[in-house]
């Protein structure tokens, strides 16, 4: 389900550098009768279906409800318009991206369980899309044959002002939710994201951060109930799913556990009039010093009702700007205040006079209208723009995230600016923490990023698809280098990340069927100490791992460590010759910082039939001083790598030389990515090549 939270491209639309694109089609209209085939209750476009596809359709026909179910295949005229309608990262519109066997647009929740049951029965994956804002496209792409369930028709919203609550179906967008709340009340709102086209299904399940996070916390903190379909096709609510699963889907990402159909959310109180303001400052106007002051003020020195979001990008200087023509850094301070303009101006004059907020910079408006203004639409734009599911631009982009726990020094900021000026269209977006979001305990729901965090930072770069593959690699490598540069300035042990800003560079569960990144490395980055509980919930609710993707919650961490099949008696541990013998050569390295994706891909390109075993450091291992015992590899190490190549003895000496030369070449290639001065190794993985 789409993650949402896409505020890297929701502000200042006039500055957006990428052409705005809108795909055709917007719904799941039925095909003309002359082009349809029929099973009972199903309409689909005829094609030469794959065996598993045909079996799936027959299964679906025998289990469908009385509501006609729309099924689109790649030959249907509506297939591509529907597929592209909610793809907001155009990196995933490539012809090389595997597309779904069928797109299904259910009109009623009762139509979803048969899709789940039949997909599982016939070995097909499913992807579930509510808004299509998943940064890495996991809500509508897969490495394996799959069915796409597009929830665009499941977007009913039932607001109950007396109860201060609303039932919201997963296919609704944040804009639709905000509009329907505002229809009923000027003094109620919901503390979720700024982008109106984000789907609520994925957004809330990943946490859901917005401009009221300091006053009310995350969107997931305000979930009262949910309706979810598990791998058995059962429709569960809060009571029937149990407290562990209800805990997990609030911040742990629902796509690992089932198909989210609806949330019941708790509404919050907002004043009838709120204030928004925008102040831009360039480097020549003292932006760097202002950001330093902002870091000391925005988190701890202003009330919860005030959020001062920060956007940094590169703009062209005009002729009147000090420094002349060229490019420069611009910081945009985007202010949202739950109160009147007069109060805001007094507050800013007292706490942050350097910014120079004036009366003419402020606009008083209703809460719903503030959402429209806050995302860059001109003042006076009708509020019903929130109902437009295609109102926001689409682009090719790559993004990463970090949580920051202490102010970034001036030298660190200047290093960011230096790198920004080398990139065509970079962005830095920062949401301030503090207040309510920090007060809620980490384990209250699955979303863990609470006390101790100052702000959430997101880096992004977007580019035009006409630039081609080489340009894409250049932009992606740029953001990876920036991420590497930021290491000293952000959270540690683990370096935390926000699930709704999904980043596959952190690690994948599988690639071409081979596990290469232990989830115990990247899982805590998203979920910190809650990751182990999420793994346990996953094993209980989805033991067959049907709801899986490249970055889903694994069934169990020991699945990646133990080689014996499930069910083997524990006394196998007493069998001294229980493991196979082989001809092999091994080498080892300690890693002190994350290997960039380009480095990992270079390893995969060199791998033929080897093994790569990674053991994670940290915790107690890193806390013990190096001089305590003779074993020295303690602090600063992230993990230990053991690289092994095996071959058959009967291959002969020539083959043996080839395999050993290969692993030596790999060891040489990996030099830039491992420990230095000295390059360290593990004595238990003895290597005579060292000397």
Per-residue pLDDT reduced to its tens digit, 48-99? 456 677 899 999 988 876 568 899 999 999 999 999 999 988 898 888 899 9
pLDDT at 25 over 70: no
Nearest to 4 by CA among 503, 522, 499: 499
Which one has a higher pLDDT value, 18 or 297?
A: 297
User: Distance of CA 294 to CAs 38, 87, 210, 602, Å?
Assistant: 62, 35, 19, 41
Query: Given this model, what pLDDT does residue 352 score?
Result: 98
- List, for residues 279-334, the tens digit of each pLDDT value: 999 999 999 999 999 999 999 999 999 999 999 999 998 644 555 568 999 999 99
Query: Given this model, what pLDDT does residue 604 score?
Result: 72
667/654 Cα distance (integer angstroms): 20
- List, for residues 496-508, the tens digit of each pLDDT value: 999 999 999 998 8
Query: Given this model, what pLDDT does residue 549 score?
Result: 94
- List, for residues 107-126, the tens digit of each pLDDT value: 999 999 999 999 999 999 99
Query: Given this model, what pLDDT does residue 453 score?
Result: 98
Which one has a higher pLDDT value, 668 or 194?
A: 194
Lowest model confidence (mean pLDDT) among 140-144, 238-242, 421-425, 670-674 = 670-674
Q: How many residues does the chain have?
A: 691
Name the 3-class secondary structure at 102: strand
Which one has a higher pLDDT value, 164 or 66?
A: 164
Helix H, strand E, coil C: the string for 483-503 is: HHHCHHHCCCCCCCCCHHHCC
Name the 3-class secondary structure at 244: helix
User: For residues 588 and 682, is the Cβ–Cβ distance under 8 A?
Assistant: yes
Which one has a higher pLDDT value, 243 or 597?
A: 243
Other CB atoms within a 10 A radius of the CB of residue 126 amount to 22
Q: In what order do the strands lie in the sheet with 274-282?
A: 362-365, 274-282, 327-337, 306-316, 426-432, 455-463, 396-404
- Mean pLDDT of the region 466-495: 92
- Mean pLDDT of the region 637-662: 78
401/465 Cα distance (integer angstroms): 23
Instruction: Choose the catalytic residue: 79, 501, 639, 667.
Output: 501
User: E strand or H helix at 399, and its extent?
Assistant: strand 396-404
User: For residues 432 and 209, is the Cβ–Cβ distance under 8 A?
Assistant: no
pTM as predicted? 0.77
Helix H, strand E, coil C: the string for 616-643 is: ECCCHHHHCCCCCCCCCCCCCCCEEEEE
- Quickly state the pLDDT bin for 105 (edges 50, 70, 90): very high
- List, for residues 269-279, the tens digit of each pLDDT value: 999 999 999 99
Query: Given this model, what pLDDT does residue 75 score?
Result: 92
pLDDT at 158 over 90: yes
Instruction: Compute CA 207 distance to the chain's CA centroid, rounded to the nearest angstrom.
Output: 11
pLDDT at 22 over 70: no
- Mean pLDDT of the region 590-604: 78
pLDDT at 10 over 90: no
Query: Given this model, what pLDDT does residue 326 score?
Result: 85
- Mean pLDDT of the region 629-645: 84
- Mean pLDDT of the region 189-205: 97
Query: Given this model, what pLDDT does residue 469 score?
Result: 82
In the chain, the percentage of residues whose pLDDT exceeds 90 is: 62
Query: Given this model, what pLDDT does residue 517 score?
Result: 58
Q: What is the DSSP code (8-state) at residue 514?
A: B
223/239 Cα distance (integer angstroms): 14
123/64 Cα distance (integer angstroms): 19
Instruction: Locate all alpha helices (DSSP H) within 452-596, ordered by sequence.
Output: 468-485, 519-527, 531-541
What integer best gives the mean pLDDT of the chain?
86
- Quickly state the pLDDT bin for 5 (edges 50, 70, 90): very low
* 501 catalytic residue (yes or no): yes
511/598 Cα distance (integer angstroms): 15
User: E strand or H helix at 109, and its extent?
Assistant: none
């Amino acid at each position: 389900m789409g993650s949402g939270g896409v505020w890297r491209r929701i502000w200042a639309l006039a500055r957006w550098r990428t052409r705005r694109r809108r795909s055709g089609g917007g719904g799941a209209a039925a095909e003309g009768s002359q082009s349809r085939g029929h099973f009972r209750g199903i309409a689909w476009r005829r094609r030469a279906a794959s065996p598993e596809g045909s079996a799936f359709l027959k299964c679906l026909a025998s289990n469908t409800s009385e509501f006609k179910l729309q099924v689109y295949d790649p030959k249907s005229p509506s297939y591509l318009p529907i597929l592209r309608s909610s793809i907001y990262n155009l990196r995933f519109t490539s012809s090389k991206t595997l597309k779904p066997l069928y797109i299904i647009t259910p009109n009623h929740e009762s139509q979803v369980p048969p899709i789940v049951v039949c997909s599982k029965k016939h070995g097909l994956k499913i992807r579930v899309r509510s808004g299509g804002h998943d940064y890495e496209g996991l809500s509508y792409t897969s490495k394996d044959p799959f069915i796409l369930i597009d929830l665009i028709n499941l977007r009913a919203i039932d607001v109950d002002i007396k109860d201060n609550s609303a039932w919201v179906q997963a296919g609704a967008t944040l804009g639709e939710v905000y509009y329907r709340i505002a229809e009923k009340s000027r003094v109620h709102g919901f503390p979720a994201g700024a982008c109106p086209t984000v789907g609520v299904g994925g957004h809330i399940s990943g946490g859901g951060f917005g401009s009221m996070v300091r006053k009310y916390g995350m969107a997931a903190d305000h979930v009262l109930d949910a309706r979810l379909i598990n791998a058995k096709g059962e429709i569960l609510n809060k009571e029937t799913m149990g407290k562990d699963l209800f805990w997990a889907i609030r911040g742990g990402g629902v796509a690992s556990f089932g198909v989210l159909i609806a949330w019941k959310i708790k509404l919050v109180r907002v004043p009838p009039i709120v204030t928004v303001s925008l102040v831009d400052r360039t480097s020549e106007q003292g932006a760097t010093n202002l950001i330093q002051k902002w870091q000391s003020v925005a988190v701890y020195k202003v009330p919860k009702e005030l959020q001062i979001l920060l956007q940094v990008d590169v703009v062209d200087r005009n002729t009147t700007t000090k420094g002349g023509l060229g490019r420069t850094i611009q910081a945009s301070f985007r202010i949202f205040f739950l109160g009147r303009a007069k109060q805001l101006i007094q507050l800013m004059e007292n706490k942050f006079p350097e910014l120079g907020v004036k009366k003419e910079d402020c606009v008083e408006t209703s809460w719903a209208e503030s959402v429209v203004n806050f995302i860059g639409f001109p003042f006076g734009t009708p509020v019903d723009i929130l109902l437009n599911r295609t109102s926001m631009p689409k682009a090719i982009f790559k993004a990463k995230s970090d949580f920051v726990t202490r102010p970034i020094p001036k030298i660190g900021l200047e290093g960011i600016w230096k790198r920004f000026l080398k990139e065509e269209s970079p962005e830095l977006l920062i949401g301030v923490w503090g207040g309510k979001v920090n007060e809620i305990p980490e384990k209250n729901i699955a979303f863990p990023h609470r006390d101790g965090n100052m702000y959430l930072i997101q880096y992004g770069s977007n580019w035009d698809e006409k630039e081609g593959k080489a340009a894409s690699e250049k932009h992606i490598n740029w953001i990876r280098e920036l991420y590497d540069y930021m290491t000293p300035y952000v959270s540690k042990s683990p370096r935390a990340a926000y699930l709704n800003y999904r980043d596959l560079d952190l690690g994948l569960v599988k690639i071409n069927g081979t596990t290469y990144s232990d989830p115990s490395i990247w899982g805590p980055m998203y979920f910190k100490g809650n990751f182990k509980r999420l793994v346990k919930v996953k094993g209980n609710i989805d033991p067959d791992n049907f709801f899986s993707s490249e970055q889903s919650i694994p069934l169990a961490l020991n699945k990646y460590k133990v080689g014996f099949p499930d069910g083997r008696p524990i006394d196998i541990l007493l069998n001294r010759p229980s493991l196979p013998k082989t001809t092999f050569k091994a080498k080892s390295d300690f890693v002190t910082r994350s290997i960039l994706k380009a480095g990992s891909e270079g390893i995969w390109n060199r791998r033929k039939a080897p093994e790569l075993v990674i053991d994670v450091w940290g915790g107690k291992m890193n806390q013990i001083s190096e001089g305590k015992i003779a074993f020295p590899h303690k602090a600063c190490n992230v993990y230990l790598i053991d690289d092994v190549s095996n071959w058959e003895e009967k291959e002969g000496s020539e083959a043996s030389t080839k395999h050993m030369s290969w692993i030596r070449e790999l060891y040489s290639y990996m030099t830039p990515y491992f420990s230095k001065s000295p390059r360290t190794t593990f004595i238990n993985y003895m290597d005579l090549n060292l000397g």
